Amino acid sequence: MALKILLVDDSKASRLGLRNWLSKEDGVEIFEAGDGLEGVERFKEHQPDITFLDLTMPVMDGFTALEEMRKVDPAAIVVVLTADVQKKTTQRVEELGAFMVLKKPPVKENIIDAFYKGLKARGKER
């Protein structure tokens, strides 16, 4: 069964980049959303193994989206990828249950590392 990855970011460039990197991994199926609300809808629809989530987005921000996703699945693996690198932001998303917080611009090694750590935590280690 394919591993499902959800990319939630209002930046198409950012989604394009992550898609390009992650699609090179074997057996992955990637879904995308352009804002937090759409992200929560896609999350409910596809129940992804790992989600990469931006914070500063229109319609619904990433903080709220993270809360909603964790309500749907308290064990959800959500990696926050953000340009907001304040300590309080990191603390806040960790309290909300983020699996990991990565800063933008994204670094390929960090994204792939987060992917594998997320899979391990999900019990789908390869």
Partner 1 sequence: MTDNRDVVFNELEIDTLHEMMNISFGRAARDLSEVIDIYVVLSIPSMEVINASELPQFIQENIQEITSGGTIICQSFLGDYNGICLVVFPSDDEHKLLRLFQDQDDSFMEMMDDPDSEVFLEIGNILIGTCVSKMAELIGETVIYQPPAVIHSNLISTSLYSSIFDISNLALTLNTTFKFKELDLHCYLFLITSCATVPFLKKAIVDYLKQFE
Task: State the Cα–Cα distance between residues 27 and 56, nearest whole angstrom.
Answer: 30
DSSP reduced 3-state for 96: coil
Identify the DSSP state of 19: H
Minimum CB separation of residue 51 from partner 1 in Å reads: 19
Tell me whether residue 88 or residue 123 sits nearer to partner 1 (CB atom): 88
- Of residues 11 and 31, the one with the C-beta less far from partner 1: 11
CA dihedral sign of residues 79, 35, 59, 84: positive
Q: State the nearest-atom distance from the C-beta of 24 to partner 1, in Å.
A: 11
Tokens of 30: 């990637």
Cβ proximity to partner 1, 23 vs 47, nearer residue: 23
State in angstroms the smallest separation of the CB of 75 from partner 1. 28
**Chain positions contacting partner 1, by CB under 8 A:** 10-14, 16-18, 20-21, 56-58, 82-89, 104-106, 108
Q: Quote the least distance from Cβ 15 to partner 1, whole Å.
A: 10
DSSP string, 8-66: E-S-HHHHHHHHHHHTTSTTEEEEEESSHHHHHHHHHHH--SEEEE-SS-SSS-HHHHH
Considering the complex, state which of residue 21 and residue 31 has its C-beta at the smaller distance from partner 1: 21
